[in-house]
A and B are shown apart, each in its own frame.
Chain A
Amino acid sequence: MEKREIAIIGGGPAGLAASIEAARAGAHVLLIDENASPGGQLFKQIHKFFGSKAHSAGIRGIDIGKKLLKETEEAGVEVWLNSSVIGLYEGNNLSVVRSTAEGKKIVTVQADKILICTGGQENAINFEGWTIPGVMGAGCAQTMVNVNRVLPGKRVLMIGSGNVGLIVSYQLMQAGADVVAIVEAADHIGGYGVHAAKVRRAGVPFYLRHTIVRAVAGENQEVCAAVIGQLDDQWNIIPGTEKTIDVDTVCIAAGLRPLAKIAQMYGVKHDFIPEMGGWMPMHDENMETSVCGVYVAGDTAGVEEANTAMDEGRLAGIAMAEALGYIPGEKAEQRKNDIRKSLESLRLGPFGERRLKAKERIIARGVAE
């Protein structure tokens, strides 16, 4: 069995930010990630980020990722890559399938503090033909073009107009594809107007109050067309409104939900918060859950975006280091308050206020049983 002061599960924006803060304070931090490189979604986010200068605004996600990796290294964070946490047991014992030079082996890690920041998972929708090759999650298409440099198709239909649907549409066009249409079940575009305007002036039409009826396979058993239809007030397709669109790829951007199975199996109190993607672990103002010493941050603690994930990670990192005695209470409180203010600034306005209110509700409710 290995012992560590802090174990962080998931090396995305939240995990990297947390590990840097905690390690800089002097704690021994182990960061575990199941991918070959840490960074999570940052390395497929080739667009410039929003926020203020303090949030790395104007910098592309991939460059923020590179900066965080460098800082992680400088801070002396121990990183296990290609390694998966497969269980969390009584006494803060993590069961890890670790990749080593001799191959994969199972290792138990006992940690004083554990941060679970395993991100979110894409929501699937099942329509006729959704299992045909060529139908994929928008996040999957984004990984293909931005990480693996593979174009999933030449003519794409995007289902969903939230920021993910809009950004991935834009990036598919940058990679050389034609986005034929963006379909949205709601009566308005879900993502930021500036993202919508980018794809619109590239000629992409929006079909509001529409959904996909089916994806159709051609002779090669891959997607060769998609049928969309208009929705009535009861969300049923209005007969006669079906349109066939010539596409070879259908991307689904139907939102994300928190991925928190590790917290769930450890008995962390959950609640259903629709604004944050549904069931999620409850946490306090230090990102600590109902189980003392177990923290959550980023999309695991409610689906938002990378800036809020990094801020929540920093908050959890400082709180863990403080709890271990590495940062004096007064100093920690001041730094945590600065981050809380920064988080609040990211949750203002028509797109953020629902999340701001949800987070206020979560923290007011507390984590006590």
Chain B
Amino acid sequence: MLRFVANRLVQLVVICFLISIFAFLLVHLLPGDPAKTILGPNDTPANHAILLKQLGLNKGLVSQYVTWITNIFHGNLGASFLTKETVTSSLSEAVPIDLELVIVSQVLALIVAIPMALVAALRPNRAFDKIATTSTFGMLSLPTFVAGPLLVLLFAVTLKWVPATGFNRLSQGLGPNLKSVILPSVALAIGSVTVYYRLLRADLIATLQEDFVTMARSKGLSTRYILVRHVMRPSSFSLLAGAGISIGTLFTGAFVVEILFQLPGIGYQLVNGIYANDYLVVQGMALVAAVAFVVVNFAVDFLLTILDPRVRRA
């Protein structure tokens, strides 16, 4: 187990290193010159040279990378040339939003998907299964940019139960906080429910046909006991792997919802940074989002090895 974890940690470090190189090279891969972008029409040769020096872009690539990565280890990701706000400060505002969105949306998705999958798997091809499968298929074809406005129209504009936009931090009270996060979380959860339901249902149906389940039934164990103790665990691998990918993706992939609901999370800031060619913001946000994705998936791999020791040997 320790060896497995050590191996994965080494892989994690290598991947993070590669990510950092890619994020660093973003500025060089993007069309245009960052100094030109910042200076705009004021881009005279003299100003250009001064700014390149200020940004350290007049040095070699390796030297620039070393400076950049060293600064990161000191908590310095640079500052937005637009708002002068440090990227670290922007992240400290954005990360809690994404974390809460991810947690609430995934908890909602799992709360809905797991019971649905259990009921459907116990009685496959019966009425509930057909309704659930059809409705989740419909949900799959409902993109967040459609679901979001519909939710806003119903719950914010018509019923006025929740705000249409904005994020209230926990410091403003749990009620206002949950009110501000519930609609975007539901919008995000819709897609996840579908995926989780389908993955879990398929695995549950397969597991329920295993000999050990027949044996358990023949011993007179209750269905609930069999499901909880014997079936859920071997049926949850695909669900867990799916959740890992989904959670990782949401750190940046939630930008559509963040823009619709005006939530200044990582995705929102990243998109703003890209539009404004605010390259330090883009670099920093992309780095953090990518590392978050890798770390989440590392955690999922780790959980999978606990659930199924065979994974370790794979």
Q: Do A and B bind each other?
A: no
